[in-house]
Amino acid sequence: MFAGTGSDVGKSVIASAFCRIFLQDGYNPAPFKAQNMSLNSYATPEGFEIGRAQAVQAEAAGIACHTDMNPILLKPSGDRVCQVVLNGKPAGNRDAYDYFKKEGREILRGEVNAAFDRLRRRYSPIVMEGAGSIAEINLRETDLVNMPMALHAGASVVLVADIDRGGVFASVYGSLMLLDATERKHVKGIIINKFRGDIRLFESGVEMLETLCGIPVIGVIPYFRDIHIEEEDSVALGAKNRGGTRGKVNVAAVLLRHLSNFTDFNVLERDPRVHLYYTNNTDELEKADIIVIPGTKNTLSDLHELRRNGVARSIVAARRAGATVIGICGGYQMMGLEVRDPERIEGDAELLPGLGLLPVVTVIGREKLTRQVRFSFLDSQSQCAGYEIHMGTTSPADGAAFSRFSPLNRLDDGTFDGCFIDERCFGTYIHGILDNAAVVDYLLSSCRNGATNNATDNAINGTTDNRPFDYATFREEQYDKLAAHVRKHVNMNLIYKMIKP
* Residues with a known catalytic role: 329, 431
Residue 338 parent element (H or E):
strand 338-340
Neighbours of 225 (CB within 10 A): 5
Give 193's contacts (C-beta < 8 A, 6+ positions apart).
9, 10, 14, 160, 161, 162, 163, 164, 221
Strand order across the 81-86 sheet: 35-37, 72-76, 81-86, 89-95
Phi/psi for 369 (5° steps) reads -95, 120
* Distance of alpha carbon 187 from alpha carbon 179, whole angstroms: 10
SS3 362: strand
Kindly report the three-state secondary structure assignment for every residue of 62-122: CCCCCHHHCCEEEEECCCCEEEEEECCEEEEEEEHHHHCCCCCHHHHHHHHHHHHHHHHCC
- Strands 351-353 and 41-43 turn out to be unpaired
SS3 440: helix
- Strands 217-222 and 187-195 turn out to be parallel
Q: Is there a contact between 294 and 265 (Cβ–Cβ < 8 Å)?
A: yes
Neighbours of 493 (CB within 10 A): 9
The residue among 132, 212, 145 whose CA lies nearest residue 172 is 212
* Distance of alpha carbon 302 from alpha carbon 300, whole angstroms: 6
Give 427's contacts (C-beta < 8 A, 6+ positions apart).
326, 327, 328, 331, 332, 333, 335, 336, 358, 360, 408, 418, 419
Amino acid at 324: T
The residue among 279, 249, 1 whose CA lies nearest residue 130 is 1
Cα–Cα distances in Å, from 365 out to 131, 258, 327, 345, 362? 31, 18, 19, 7, 9
SS3 329: coil
* Distance of alpha carbon 455 from alpha carbon 462, whole angstroms: 10
Amino acid at 356: G
Cα–Cα distances in Å, from 274 out to 104, 260, 269, 271, 280? 49, 21, 7, 6, 19
* Distance of alpha carbon 386 from alpha carbon 428, whole angstroms: 11
* Distance of alpha carbon 244 from alpha carbon 318, whole angstroms: 15
